Amino acid sequence: MGTTKKELFSLEDNQVAAIAKAVGHPARVAILKQLARLDACVCGDLVDVLPLSQSTVSQHLKALKEAHLILGEVEGKNVCYCINKEVWEKAQSLLTDFFSRR
Amino acid sequence: MGTTKKELFSLEDNQVAAIAKAVGHPARVAILKQLARLDACVCGDLVDVLPLSQSTVSQHLKALKEAHLILGEVEGKNVCYCINKEVWEKAQSLLTDFFSRR
DNA sequence: CCATTTCATCGCTATATTGCGATTCAATAC
DNA sequence: GTATTGAATCGCAATATAGCGATGAAATGG
């Protein structure tokens, strides 16, 4: 318990849920918006923009990375994040389809 | 801590996050799909369709109701759930806009 | 009245999430 | 080499979530 019984649901339902879950926090929404806006990647400028500590922002970035919605590339001392275009488009179509029902 | 600092984010970011959070579980995805498919409302047939106990399904329905994505109407002994069309469309446009970035 | 059915809620356990400060590690700067 | 900077991770506390069985409350059936 406390654990989602993923095995019991369809792949698609799990995919939709996983994406939605990753987006389900205002900080992560804000991060994704920033990354979309800047098109090119950014790094820890995100920390400056967000009203959260560095460690907390790092956690959210990790969550988004685990959902494959973003990519992080090391550039010397910095890490450059950007939207994972492929997965983003997949997510877009999954969610669009989902909400187009009815 | 353990609590999202919603105050620190924009209304829109919070709205997007709240909807995504509600959708962020495969059981709730499955419920919403069913309700969309049956167009007309259903009741505890949902429990039969889902691989979860009645109490757990009830919890998920509560979560969806709190996100205003669904409506529940008492009909004698039964409760009839259906998608909240207005909010659903709002959610659709919010999420579509969100994913249309970039 | 009592029994049954339908659903919500309580009470509990297990696990996950959010947040932060402190620490660590790698890369640069000196 | 040491110092500094950027970012991930650790460790912790507070809270939230997922799941279930049991109990409750309202409506129907007798």
For the domain that residue A30 is a member of, what is the CATH number? 1.10.10.10
Residue A84 counted as domain residue: yes
> Average pLDDT of A3-28?
98
Residue B58 counted as domain residue: yes
What is the structure's pLDDT at A40? 67
Find the closest chain A residue to B3 by CA distance: A25
Q: Which of A50, A101, A11, A80 is nearest to B95 (CA)?
A: A101
Distances (CA, A) of B89 to A17, B70, B82, B94, B99: 19, 12, 14, 8, 15
CA distance B58 to chain A (A): 15
What is the structure's pLDDT at A41? 80
Query: Domain limits at B21?
Result: 10-97
Q: What is the mean pLDDT of chain A?
A: 94
Residue A1 counted as domain residue: no
Is the pLDDT assigned to residue A66 strictly greater than 80?
Answer: yes
Residues in chain B closer than 8 A to A33 (CB atoms): 13, 98, 101
Residue A4 counted as domain residue: no
Q: What band does A61 get if pLDDT is binned at 50, 70 and 90?
A: very high
Q: Which of residues 38-57 of B touch A (CB under 8 A)?
A: 39, 51-52
**Element (H or E) spanning B80, and its range?**
strand B78-83
> Average pLDDT of A4-27?
98
Q: How many domains would you assign to chain B?
A: 1
Residue A67 counted as domain residue: yes
Taking the CA of residue B89 and the C1' sugar atom of nucleotide D19, their distance in angstroms comes to 31
Residue B1 counted as domain residue: no
Site from B6, B13, B21, B59 to mutate, A interface, most A CB atoms within 10 angstroms: B13
